[in-house]
Structure 1
């Protein structure tokens, strides 16, 4: 596990879903525990390469576009500290993901570190990998504990909007509805029993306590756009000017 985050330790981070490397570098210079980089809904491969071209003291988790070995291997070769894989529904898929993230004999990852700051030692490269499987479908929920029990899967990452849609409760789960609270508790319980990381996209720091009460210990508090908007609002108010920045309603 690359980030030295014990399953029960509470950690807080942020999310970047566009190509504003300045926002990423600002988060990397903070005391955040991690930053998520979203290649499923925004960032392309060539931009990811620039984002990871320098080392960071803040662990960087890349949400890959899909569970293909090519996407997983590419992000790790660039220096991702962790991988978040969307739509993981079965044990078989989780096993494939674990194999793609590790070198033989544990897995089937091809050797090819790209970033110059990365070690070239295979054992060091293999040890720095953390894999979080996204539980965000009805099937994934049903198989959550079995998925988390797979060797090489270090934890789960829940997107409440997708899971809410999949279960018929809608995307507006910030805060979660009562039926969603039950589903989220099941996932967090599975992570606790398997001694794996329980991570979740909270979307706003004001909801952190709610999701922690449900058992999640690794929370994404806000995205880069929300951070910038809050900073602009704060600076305008501090200067005595009227803050007229539009409210950021989306947690993503």
Structure 2
């Protein structure tokens, strides 16, 4: 039988309970790496369709192989992109570049079956394992949006108040680009992050932030962010190879 969403992977309920999450971010497009990452005890895995190398078959394989909860960062905020990601059996979606409450509400609607939303029912994994079982488990699907622009920061309070939204994650890279050309863009970006975190706290909504290292993830966690990126596949592989080459070359120096 094609695996469905096990009850112990109900990401939405765990987020609502205030559990902090260390995310592993996967962009290379390898289901084998996803399986390995899922076996390390990762609290959740993000499969990045927006900037990553994933195709649909690789996505389906990765979701089926990893034992950790899976979030899919979709390419765009459309019913097709969100529905296709959730048809894989993933535990949730992460929608990029959301700037208004209306856009956040659209993401929620695209992620929920009627009457709560407008998601279409289907998919090889749901139908292969029994759609009734999948439908019953769909309440556990988490819906997150990314605030990554100055306009999104300005509307953070309204976005955080959208019914059915489960978390917000700050995209620090694009947010920095949004403030480029202003006076002290780094300070503006940090102020923007703080504003989003405050808006989430006021709405009792988990707030996450993209980080590049485990040390940065720990530091952000102490600031109150509920989701941080502990590792990403590109850096883990690059630093692992570099460390091995350096260790091998050390005797020759």
TM-score of the pair, normalised by structure 1: 0.84
Cα pair distance change 1:9/1:118, threshold 3 Å: farther
Which residue of the other structure, out of 26, 47, 56, is the alignment partner of 1:16?
26
Cα deviation, residue 196, structure 1:
1.4
Structure-2 separation of matches of 1:37 and 1:105: 28
Which residue of the other structure, out of 10, 29, 36, is the alignment partner of 1:2?
10
Cα deviation, residue 2, structure 1:
3.3
Name 1:249's counterpart in structure 2. Answer: none
SS of equivalent to 1:120 = helix
The aligned length equals: 235
TM-score of the pair, normalised by structure 2: 0.84
Asked if the contact 2:32–2:62 (Cα under 8 Å) also holds between the matched residues in 1, the reply is no
Cα deviation, residue 114, structure 1:
2.2
Name 2:40's counterpart in structure 1. Answer: 30
Cα pair distance change 1:93/1:118, threshold 3 Å: farther
Mapped pair 1:221 → 2:230: yes
Mapped pair 1:61 → 2:71: yes
Cα pair distance change 1:207/1:157, threshold 3 Å: same
Mapped pair 1:197 → 2:211: no
Cα pair distance change 1:37/1:154, threshold 3 Å: same
Cα deviation, residue 18, structure 1:
1.7
Structure-2 separation of matches of 1:66 and 1:201: 18
Asked if the contact 1:81–1:129 (Cα under 8 Å) also holds between the matched residues in 2, the reply is yes
Cα deviation, residue 118, structure 1:
6.9
Structure-1 separation of matches of 2:216 and 2:130: 36
Deviations 1:81-119 (A, max 9, x none): 110001111111111111111011111111114214576
Name 2:168's counterpart in structure 1. Answer: 156
SS of equivalent to 2:249 = coil
Name 2:114's counterpart in structure 1. Answer: 104
Which residue of the other structure, out of 238, 241, 248, is the alignment partner of 1:241?
248
Asked if the contact 1:201–1:221 (Cα under 8 Å) also holds between the matched residues in 2, the reply is no
Name the one with the larger helix percent.
2
SS of equivalent to 2:124 = coil
The answer to which of 19-28 and 209-218 deviates more is 209-218
Asked if the contact 1:88–1:134 (Cα under 8 Å) also holds between the matched residues in 2, the reply is yes
Asked if the contact 1:185–1:214 (Cα under 8 Å) also holds between the matched residues in 2, the reply is no
Mapped pair 1:45 → 2:52: no
